[in-house]
């Protein structure tokens, strides 16, 4: 009974902030907070952010700094890279060393001239819809492992839920259920 009461209270809160929750500004802020959390909690991360793909347009959201924005822009300009691949395949992508990884050679060559030595990208999935990818960059080779990937996937789930609701007319109940699904499990 206490759980149901708490769920009802959460529904009321989301109902009251529905207009705020669904604005692009509020969602952008929430995605930025999730990217900052990824940078802080994933060992070795020097930057994090989100790549969104809508109608073939690729954009960055929630970038923690200029390094992330520049690395993302290179992917969009070159048409290759780990974030675009994570989006296209719906599967996580990891680069252990940008100086020797044979995939995305142009992108790897470009970012390895700077501080990016490893990268991990996971898809942003909302139900079966692919929205983009969330990523972290590191200055160290082989910085990310399976535990870091699992953590990034956990952070990407609520980001996808929020981004998926920007242009919808979902009810507060549906939003509550989706966010509880991801946050209710505990971080």
Q: Which residue has the higher pLDDT, 93 or 10?
A: 93
185 within a domain of the structure (yes/no): no
Measured between alpha carbons, how far apart are the two ends of the chain, in Å? 24
**Domains: count for the chain:** 1
180 within a domain of the structure (yes/no): no
Is the CB of residue 17 less than 8 Å from the CB of residue 37?
no
Q: How far from 162 is each of 75, 89, 165, 182, CA to CA, in Å?
A: 24, 21, 5, 11
Q: 46-50, 152-156, 167-171, 178-182: which range is least confident on average? A: 167-171
Instruction: Identify the CATH number of the domain in which residue 143 sits.
Output: 3.30.450.40
9 within a domain of the structure (yes/no): no
4 within a domain of the structure (yes/no): no
Largest CA distance in the chain: 58
Is the CB of residue 83 less than 8 Å from the CB of residue 75?
yes
DSSP code, position 96: S
54 within a domain of the structure (yes/no): yes
Cα–Cα distance between 31 and 164 in angstroms, integer? 12
Confidence at residue 187, expressed as pLDDT on a 0 to 100 scale = 45
Enter the pTM of the model: 0.77
Which residues is 51 bridged to in the sheet? 60, 133
Which residues is 167 bridged to in the sheet? none
Confidence band for 177, pLDDT divided at 50, 70 and 90: low
How many residues are there in the chain?
187
Confidence band for 23, pLDDT divided at 50, 70 and 90: low
E strands, the chain, are: 45-54, 57-61, 93-95, 118-126, 129-138
Confidence band for 18, pLDDT divided at 50, 70 and 90: very low
3 within a domain of the structure (yes/no): no
123 within a domain of the structure (yes/no): yes
Per-residue pLDDT tens digits for 91-102: 999 999 999 999
**Domain span at 100:** 23-167
14 within a domain of the structure (yes/no): no
């Amino acid at each position: 009974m206490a759980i149901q009461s708490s769920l009802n209270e959460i529904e009321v809160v989301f109902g009251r902030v529905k207009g705020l929750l669904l604005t692009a500004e509020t969602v952008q802020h929430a995605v930025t907070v999730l990217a900052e959390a990824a940078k802080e909690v994933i060992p070795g991360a020097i930057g994090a952010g989100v790549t969104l793909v809508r109608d073939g347009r690729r954009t960055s959201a929630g970038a923690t700094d200029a390094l992330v924005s520049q690395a993302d822009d290179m992917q969009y300009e070159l048409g290759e890279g780990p974030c675009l691949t994570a989006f296209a395949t719906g599967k996580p992508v990891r680069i252990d060393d940008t100086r020797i990884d044979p995939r995305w050679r142009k992108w790897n060559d470009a970012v390895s001239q700077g501080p990016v030595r490893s990268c991990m990208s996971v898809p942003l999935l909302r139900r079966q819809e692919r929205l983009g990818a969330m990523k972290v960059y590191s200055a160290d080779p082989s910085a990310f492992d399976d535990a870091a990937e699992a953590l990034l996937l956990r952070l990407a789930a609520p980001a996808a839920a929020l981004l998926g609701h920007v242009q919808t007319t979902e009810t507060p109940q549906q939003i509550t259920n989706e966010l509880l699904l991801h946050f209710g499990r505990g971080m």
